[in-house]
Amino acid sequence: MIDRYTRPEMAALWTDEARYARWLEVELAVCDVLAERGAIPGEAATALRERASFDVERIREIEREVRHDVIAFLSSVGESTGPEGRFLHLGMTSSDVIDTALALQVRDAGRLLVSDTDRLLSVLRRRALEHKRTPMIGRTHGVHAEPTTFGLKLLVFHEEVRRGRARLERALEEAAVGKISGAVGTFGQLEPAVEEAVCARLGIGFEPAATQVVQRDRHAALVSALAVLASTLEKIAVECRHLARTEVREVDEEFGKAQKGSSAMPHKRNPWRFETVSGLARLVRGYALAALENNALWHERDISNSSVERVVLPDASALLDFMLERTAQLVDGLVVHPDRMRHNLEHTRGLPFSGALLAELLRSGLGREEAYRLVQRHAMETWERGGEYKKRILNDPEIARWLSHEAIDRCFDLDHALRHVDAIFERTLGSEDAS
């Protein structure tokens, strides 16, 4: 991933240096376990811990000749170890080290992503509570529907991100597994107990039944979880972009004092950072498709997944890391205009209360078809001719037969319409957190 969309801490996890360091960590863990079991001399494992090292440029040089990255790595390490180096990779196949080390990278990248998600959850929660009672118009199909609050809108996002976090943690647990079971997963050279001990030492799970590789449904599920969470961030971005349109202007993306919105139009204040989030979500979705296609390998394995994963796993992790941080920043600094929200809520002159009026007529005993006809007739006249919807309702003698002025007033009362918002917050966040 290009530097523009990569944060340093995540980038550091996917460098060649980091990958080879984890390969060496796996190799040494296997030696330690073998030494504990008496399969190799204890002093050899100690010597390897003390002396084993690698050189990235040397690995690249050797790989150009042998055309095999793990052999090149082992050759470079062997130059630093002396005769004890013969115990490295004993009974292992290349995928044992590659996949087990990949599990360590997945685990460490996942920790960053979970931390990012927690920050976004904190920001969404705080701003949702801040605007719990900030009324605005709810829109369905882009058209004014019924009143809602901006806080409730943010609470919905908070809950979706919370589900995304749980989904991510489950996928990380599934994907962060290693295997030390040999060329086709039969433990031809090592015992299953060695695999279990090595993975426990490394702090990851193990693949209970493997081929030459950890099965790629695990990684497909992980990248899919990243894509779902990215789609949630896009949902937040798209909503804020719509609300920032000039005709709506209920929110604004934070605009710096020295910021410029357009090279040609000095007045512009564009939601460009939200637009970046929308665009990057498309990439992560594409990576999910590639990860799904990696699952169907030939027989006990082929290598078609390798080239894909060298791109997909680092890039998807880096992008989501960037998107989570950016979204948290944008929500934190989002400029909210309650006055515009109130203005837009009142723009349709009482029409958003038609549903409450219909329900009240039904409760009073009027049949549905007749009640709907009365309510819709005045609504369409208000759409087409202007004027106040409530005034038309109050002046209709047919409606007056069924509803008192007090009942009609209640149908058009904003506080009454939003009376259950506090209860939604309480059942979602808990009574103490929602206060």
Render 172-191 in DSSP notation, one character per residue: HHHHSEE----TTSS-SSS-
Q: How far apart are CA 322 and CA 334, in angstroms?
A: 18
Cα 161 to Cα 122, 230, 231, 324, 392: the distances in Å are 11, 10, 10, 10, 43
Q: Is residue 392 within 8 Å of residue 378, measured between CB atoms?
A: yes
Is 404 labeled as catalytic in the residue annotation?
no
The continuous run of DSSP H or E covering 136 comes out as: strand 135-140
The residue behind tokens 């209970």 is 208
Q: Which residue has the tokens 């007739």?
A: 377
**Three-state SS for 206?**
strand
Give SS3 for 143.
strand
Backbone φ and ψ for 206, nearest 5 degrees, come out as: -130, 155
**What distances in angstroms separate CA 424 from CA 149, 348, 416, one per listed residue?**
12, 26, 15
Distance CA 359, CA 235 (A): 31
Query: In 3-state terms, what secondary structure has residue 205?
Result: strand
DSSP string, 224-287: HHHHHHHHHHHHHHHHHHHHTSTTT-SEE----TT----SS-TT----HHHHHHHHHHHHHHHH
Assign 109 to helix, strand or coil: helix
Q: Is 262 a catalytic residue?
A: yes
Handedness of CA 41, 46, 50, 53 (dihedral sign): positive
Beta-bridge mates of residue 178: 206
Q: Which one of the listed residues 115, 122, 262, 404 is annotated catalytic?
A: 262
User: Are residues 321 and 117 in contact, defined by beta-carbon separation less than 8 angstroms?
Assistant: no
Known catalytic residues are: 141, 262
